[in-house]
Chain A
Amino acid sequence: MKQRLVVIGNGMAGMKTVEEILAASPDQFEITVFGAEPHGNYNRIMLSPVLSGEKTLDEIMINDRQWYADNGITLLAGEDKFVVDIDRGKRCVIARDGTQVHYDRLLIATGSKPFILPVPGNDLQGVIAFRDIADVETMLSYAKSRRHAVVLGGGLLGLEAANGLVEQGMDVTVIHNNAILLNRQLDNEAAKLLQAELEARGVTFKMPAQTEALVDDGTGHVSAVRFADGSELPCDLFVMAIGVRPNIALAEKVGLYCEKGIVVNDTLQTFDPSVYAVGECVQHRNQTFGLVAPLFDQAKACANHLCGHGVAGYATLPTATKLKVTGIHLFSVGNFLGDAECEFLLFRDLAAGNYKKLVLKNNRIIGAVLYGDTSEGAWYQELLEQRVDITPMRGLLIFGRAYAEPLLLNSESNQATVKSVVSDGKQTVTENVA
């Protein structure tokens, strides 16, 4: 008889785990999936291109309902299938409409919730996050009738939203509480290049700036943003993109041990060994997640353990960042700021829109920022992950693999360490989860 696997969350991490299970051991589980959104499984990270009009919703669907049927998976999707409780004693999941499904193994993949700025007016109409298809639809409809959009947050998501809204014809101002855009991914120089490029595309920046309140137009709709200095900015649409928090409400309610997220071990098990968790809702070795690459790694390790193979463990690797704005290329990985013990290889051609920085420690790459030409990003990441001693090719490293690698190959002592991970099929450039 098949074991019963219940998955809470029809997002990218959960479904990736299911796909890995189907690939590894297709007949082992009878699978039920609960999803609060009324869709099949879609690629959340592609919401930005949908907003900018470069992709349609259909194009970003990963698995439609037919796929669930074809694989014998029961999909319970929609608001009334929102899971409200888990009876861990009886190993039973309970949805809002009273649906109950028993499990032998449970996988929690509830993702994250956007962080909402705690200011007066944050509940006004026209104040939204950028998290799901509904948010995109809201933005697209505002773009048709309104003019002033304000995006809060100069991170990846905020900038993608801003670019998308400009593409849709709105006047967009980005508010950021740091002088450096993408300050978690970029250093000052790369950020300046990015800002210049986005400004050239029509995005206005107000930074650093402290939002004090959102102003009501009298009908319950936002009309302006008020700042700490008293100045105001007209606003018809206010998009918050200032980060996410692991969605742990359910886990906490049913007594699973949580800190910032649901705490899991290297095999993605919670403190209840029959309950697994993956994705943005987890906390692994004190770290929470917002990009897709580690999620996919978690899915692999988790599926491996669920299927009883028991050989894979999850370890967090430095994850590369990319901004999904057409024509803007940036790449960031690892400790891109470095410290006093680090050495830096810098390449600047600001007029041509190119900037590269490699951070070295003990002759190994520990971080990189590339802006403009990011074609070598994957290779640098590979060198970083493999901890390759770059000494023989230091002089040409910044110019890329075709130039530098021959030096490395010539240096016999290092030959043994050279192997290509890309040819193993591993995805080395990964993207943020919207």
Chain B
Amino acid sequence: MQDLISSDINNDSLQTIKTTCAYCGVGCGIEAQVNPHTREVSVQGDFSHPANQGRLCSKGSSLGETVGLESRLLQPVVGGKTVSWDSALDTVSDKFKRIIDEHGPDAVAFYGSGQLLTEDYYVANKLMKGFIGSANIDTNSRLCMSSAVTGHKRAFGTDTVATCYDDLDHAQLIVLVGSNTAWCHPIVFQRIRSAKERNPDLKVVVIDPRRTATCDIADLHLPLASGSDVKLFNGLLHFLNQNDVLDHPFIEQSCDGSVAALEAAAEDAGNLDSVARYCNLPSADVERFYRWFADTDKAVSVYSQGVKQSSSGADKVNAIVNCHLLTGRIGKSGSGPLSLTGQPNAMGGREVGGLANQVAAHMEFHIEGDVDRVARFWQAPNMAREPGKPAVDLFDAIADGSIKAVWIMATNPVVSLPNADKVKAALENCEFVVVSDCVAESDTLALAHVKLPALGWSEKDGMVTNSERRITHQRALLPPAGEAKPDWWIISEVAKRLGFGEAFNYQHQIEIFREHAALSGFENNPFQRLRDFDISGLADISLEEYQSFTPKQWPINTDYPQGKARFFANGKFFTPNQRAQLVALTSRAPGNAVSQRYPLVLNTGRLRDQWHTMTRSALAPRLNQHRPEPFVEVHPDDAERYQLQHGGIAHLLSQWGQMYARVMVTDTQQQGNVFVPMHWSEQYAKKGRMGALVNPVVDPLSGQPESKHTPVSIRPLSAGWYGFVLSREPLADQNVEYQVKVNAEGYYRYELAAIKSIEGVAEHFQTLLNPEAQFEWQEFDDASAGVYRAACYNKQALQAVVCLAPSFAEVQLPARGWLGSMFVKSSLEPQERMALLAGIPTVGTEDVGATVCACFNVGEKTILKAINENKLTTYQEVGVCCKAGTNCGSCVPEIKTLLAQAVEVSS
């Protein structure tokens, strides 16, 4: 009986809630088990969600580890002091009001994020464009998909994603352009992989300068020269024309501009061999790709940041879309262009008009009547008439003082924008910086005059839209942390204080959503202004329907009450004449060419286990094990040429800034190209922000920065010493060239390197780690070799470890993994303590090696052992044997590499 009672209590306290993932634009459904009393959350994939059908990647699987309160901003802060909400909101509205009164509405700006919910986004856009009277609201989605928006609008008249994930299951050819899908959109990648397993005839082409994990399933990889995509696809268009695979009836009925587009393509890319030379590809491979595309009716082109983050990003999108339009491969099952977005609600931001060059609900500044239409709907007193400043221009305007107050919501532009040092300086000099965020510390928050605590992922409640237009209800799992508030509430409160109370008197986010849905249907018909985005079917949604809303793809209206999978099957587009517009394109080189001084092309991108600027993903220790440090991938020939050693530290410089990163020598990189991950901020890597390097070139049409192509130089850091500290307590800034922080299980890891001499460094750390000599101190000192290692113990438990050496070689600086694993122990065995500073497992215990599978925490050595002992030959067998790769599967390429290694060793 007693047991029954207690189990009842447990059942009562555990709730199962369906929500969505906080990370990429795939928009996976999640089923969360929540204990609201302990704030414990465990997640699994929602089998009923069409986007992921139960799967989750390593990041999504670790969301439960990120909901702790340690790193949260819990109260409003003004000028460094904790204040009440009233006081903080008064400060924000007073200051904005004063600046608007003195300098006009264009002197203020909002900078939002694809992390905002649709309702949050809607309110922010409405306030800025309709009531403050400026269109200076842009978002980090500018860095992510604005080239797709522009490309889509040029071709279709609207920013319409024509296709859906289901098309991947039915395609015969999938072309992945500028997308490391395996790492950046892992669940889409899993879908493609299983489609390929089901259908051996399905061909996958990967077009990417890098040989990424995505190439694992590629039948053809085209490592094209950075930025040469337009040439490649112009060549394809010309090839399709030459080979007579164009869909002439469709063109006649539904397309304008085909002649000009084909002529331009012939002019730009009329000779396949010259195209191949320009793209630095073998002619035979280019021809094979063209041939496959020509021969395959069911072809999906998936494109991501490699296409969009470019000075010709919109052109790249149109080059791809041209090929689909002229072959009529759009709107049909298994064919069409598919833009993968980076963020969970990038699409939601586009719906509400969260970019500076949109009005709202897919209405445009340049289309007559749209501004007035929205103004009427909002009853807006100060409707903005002109587009505002897109991200890069917006921060330039802050830098030159024309924007005097900025409100940054849920993003970290000091890290993520190009020329990020300039952004940092701009904010440092800005008269008034408001940042609303769920975390307490970020490089951007560090510059804020006012910090407003927003809800985190686990507390937010509202709608998000994924890359395939699917709207899902993201539900609150936990009550708000501290005094945190929804973003829509914060913005509305400021709006009320600015005198717009009537228009912002929302009591619940559903009121906002209904208004948003109503606007989407407002005068949306062929006689007034027909738009693709129409969810008027939800304008009267009841609270109960809202709470139980199941994922649907817009449009959702009287014609399509349950949504619609594809657009344009009827050959009708949203241009004034309802015809698609082909764009005549001429390829052009990236904005900045390499030079003698900056001879290498810097490419940037995401990693498998990190997200954006790591404010959330780095809270999950297991996600920090895959790639713990910022690194630069360098081709072996370049490494030799620039005297870089694998594992050493490189100093990268561009005309705009610099960064330090760990060198990884790899032939997956093209010679002349280097790659750095985009994630590290000053919070984790003092001088490891890639944004500082990146050129501020943008696409002239979309304003999206060219983050994939910056000329840089590289040289080894000539360090006086290298080292690392593992510590239960955080370490202050050591003012060295290289300092990287890694959150780990029970401790922090710091990787360090400095130019200055090692003299006195050991003594420095003695004082630093054991200031009052309150801990027991253990050390290994080989002074003449410059090797120093020490550990301090709080009673029997390890408190900190420091290892210093003149080189980074493992014989001098031991591997961190085993040492780190000692922190979970409350006390060490005498033999463990005795040999701790050896840095290798006590003889008799096992070293599992670097983490390969982050979901189940399976190490490289464990996998190799399983392979060798059981004579495993496939990754599926490895999964059966040690679980690795059986959850998100994004480590499968690495497991296959290990399998290949094992074969090499045994043969």
Contacts and interface: CB of A to CB of B under 8 A. Distances in A.
Contact of B835 (A343, A344, A403): A403
A346 B787 contact: no
A185 B777 CA distance: 25
Contacts of B833: 349, 352
24 contacts: A343-B783, A343-B785, A344-B783, A345-B781, A346-B779, A346-B780, A347-B781, A347-B837, A348-B777, A348-B779, A348-B781, A349-B777, A349-B779, A350-B776, A351-B777, A352-B776, A352-B833, A373-B834, A394-B785, A395-B787, A396-B838, A398-B780, A399-B835, A399-B837
9 shortest interchain CB distances as A-B pairs: A351-B776, A399-B838, A349-B778, A343-B784, A346-B781, A402-B843, A395-B811, A403-B838, A399-B835
Interface string A280-292: 0000000000000
Given A346-B779, A351-B776, 20 more contacts: A343-B785, A344-B783, A344-B784, A345-B782, A346-B782, A347-B778, A348-B778, A348-B779, A349-B833, A349-B834, A350-B777, A351-B777, A352-B776, A352-B833, A394-B782, A396-B840, A399-B835, A399-B837, A399-B838, A400-B835
A274 interface: no
B58 to A, nearest CB: 34
Contacts of A348: 777-779, 781
Contacts of A346: 779-783
Interface in A403-418: 403, 407
Nearest to A351: B776
B581 interface: no
Contacts of B784: 343-344
Contacts of A394: 782, 785, 811
Contacts of B838: 396, 399, 403
B793 interface: yes
A352 B778 contact: yes
A352 B830 contact: yes
Interface string B783-819: 1110100000100000000000000000110000000
Chain B facing A: main interface SS? mixed
Contacts of A395: 782, 787, 811-812
Contacts of A350: 776-777
A354 interface: yes
Interface string B860-879: 00000000000000000000
Nearest to A397: B782
A407 B782 CA distance: 17
Nearest to A392: B811
Nearest to B805: A395
A176 B782 CA distance: 32
Contacts of A398: 780
A141 B834 CA distance: 42
Contacts of B834: 349, 352, 354, 373, 399
Nearest to A342: B784
Nearest to B793: A351
Contacts of A400: 835
B640 to A, nearest CB: 26
A361 to B, nearest CB: 11
A57 B833 CA distance: 40
A119 B784 CA distance: 47
Contacts of B782: 343-346, 394-395
Contacts of B843: 402-403
Interface in B98-137: none
A400 B844 CA distance: 14
Interface in A347-386: 347-352, 354, 373
A398 B787 CA distance: 12
Interface string B3-32: 000000000000000000000000000000
Chain A facing B: main interface SS? mixed
Which of under 10, 10 to 19, 20 to 34, or 35 or more describes the interface residues of A?
20 to 34
B780 to A, nearest CB: 5
Contacts of B776: 349-352
Nearest to A344: B783
Interface in B753-784: 776-784
A345 B780 CA distance: 7
B840 to A, nearest CB: 7
Interface string B507-536: 000000000000000000000000000000
Contacts of B779: 346-349
A403 B780 CA distance: 15
Contacts of A349: 776-779, 833-834
A394 B838 CA distance: 11
Nearest to A401: B843
Given A349-B776, A395-B787, A403 B840 contact: yes
Interface in B463-494: none
A350 B830 CA distance: 13
Interface in B342-359: none
A403 B843 CA distance: 7
Contacts of B830: 352
A354 B791 CA distance: 14
A95 to B, nearest CB: 55
Contacts of B780: 345-347, 398
A28 to B, nearest CB: 49
A394 B840 CA distance: 15
A352 B837 CA distance: 14
Interface string A245-269: 0000000000000000000000000
Contacts of A396: 838, 840
A373 B834 CA distance: 9
B542 to A, nearest CB: 68
Interface string A289-314: 00000000000000000000000000
Interface in B66-115: none
Contacts of A407: 811
A396 B834 CA distance: 12
Which among A354, A373, A395, A398 has the highest number of chain B CB atoms within 10 Å? Answer: A395
B791 to A, nearest CB: 8
A373 B840 CA distance: 19
Nearest to B775: A351
A46 B830 CA distance: 30
B328 to A, nearest CB: 64
Contacts of A344: 781-784
Interface string A70-102: 000000000000000000000000000000000
A356 B858 CA distance: 37
A351 B778 CA distance: 8
A174 B880 CA distance: 69
A407 B326 CA distance: 65
A381 to B, nearest CB: 19
B722 to A, nearest CB: 14
Contacts of A354: 834
Which among B776, B778, B811, B834 has the highest number of chain A CB atoms within 10 Å? Answer: B834
B860 to A, nearest CB: 19
A173 to B, nearest CB: 30
Which among B778, B782, B812, B835 has the highest number of chain A CB atoms within 10 Å? Answer: B782
Nearest to B833: A352
Interface string B823-837: 000000010011101
A394 B781 CA distance: 11
Nearest to A352: B833
Nearest to B776: A351
Contacts of A403: 835, 838, 840, 843
Contacts of B812: 395
Nearest to B778: A349
Contacts of A402: 843
Interface string A320-347: 0000000000000000000000011111
B771 to A, nearest CB: 17
Nearest to A354: B834
A129 B835 CA distance: 42
Nearest to A375: B834
A44 B168 CA distance: 89
B801 to A, nearest CB: 13
A352 B840 CA distance: 20
